[in-house]
Structure 1
Amino acid sequence: MELVVYLAGEIHSPWREEVKDKAKALKLPLTFVGPMENHSRSDKIGVEILGEQPTPILMDEAASKINNLRTQILMKKADLVIAFFGEKYKQWNTAMDASAAITLGKPLILIRLEEYHHALKELSQKANVTVETINQAIKVLSYVFETE
């Protein structure tokens, strides 16, 4: 059995590579999908496809529609969502994606630092599992495949 895992979270740090590398080292049968990780391309995809927009707001809206379509398609096909709340970047998209996973009935592993407990308490209660580290999330994934 192979699972598709949607990796939701900021695209500025290499946390996704850490998840992928650790899963590969354990030979977990996982395929990973997620948002466009090229930040510049993500921001400019609306202009790239639809052409120049008259204002920065309209440029953002055009890109957002296309990025939201991508997220919706890939998340619906995913068997599981991992939402990572890192310590450096604003996490609005992560919260939105985690909420979308819950709404879609997708199993959700939430990774967040202990100091974010209060800010994310309601979201944590809706997630299937909340952990504090990528290593803990990998252990949860590994357990799914254990037979004894």
Structure 2
Amino acid sequence: MSWKVYLSGEIHTDWREQIIKAAGAAGLPIEFSSAVTDHGASDAAGDVLGEEQNGFWRDHKSAKVNAIRTKTQLEQCDLAVVRFGDKYKQWNAAFDAGFCAALGKPYITLHSEDIIHPLKEVDGAAMAWAQTPEQVVQVLKYICREK
């Protein structure tokens, strides 16, 4: 079986690359997808629809354009990994986790121990909580086992 795994959340570290590289080295049958991880490009996604003077409307249009990609990829994935970093609050990641829960899509949360409390509901609906990309890869190895 080939798996489609969506990588959601924090964009300021290389956690995605670590997972993709390790999964590739292990020969796992996984196709990865992700949101746009270029912060500037994501913020400007709606600019093609016309310039906005008000930041709210610029963000609103860009969020909707970004949601086309995110919604489609979450609907098509078999599993999502949702990363919450330490530097910024990732409200979009929490939204993605809730969307997965509503769709009945399994997801793994990836975050440090110090934010367990604020993520208790998000973690409560997750199939696993990992603290490192290596732990995520170990879960992926297990679920991809042939026997």
- Counterpart Cα distance in 2 of 1:146 and 1:59: 45
Q: Give the secondary structure class of the aligned counterpart of 1:119.
A: helix
Residue aligning to 1:33: 33
Which runs of 5 or more residues in structure 1 are unaligned?
Answer: none
Q: Give the secondary structure class of the aligned counterpart of 1:83.
A: strand
TM-score, normalising length from structure 1?
0.94
For 1:20-63, what per-residue CA distance to the aligned partner results, in whole angstroms no more than 9, with x for missing partners?
1111111111111111111111111111x202113111111110
Residue aligning to 2:5: 5
Q: Give the secondary structure class of the aligned counterpart of 2:109.
A: strand
Q: Give the secondary structure class of the aligned counterpart of 1:130.
A: strand
Residue aligning to 2:126: 127
Moved over 2 A (4+): none
- Counterpart Cα distance in 2 of 1:13 and 1:51: 31
- Counterpart Cα distance in 1 of 2:116 and 2:64: 31
- Counterpart Cα distance in 2 of 1:98 and 1:41: 23
Shift of 1:147: 3.8
Identity within the alignment, %: 39
Residue aligning to 1:144: 143
- Counterpart Cα distance in 2 of 1:39 and 1:51: 19
For 1:69-92, what per-residue CA distance to the aligned partner results, in whole angstroms no more than 9, with x for missing partners?
211011101110000112222221
Give me the CA root mean square deviation: 1.2
Residue aligning to 1:51: 50
Which runs of 5 or more residues in structure 2 are unaligned?
Answer: none
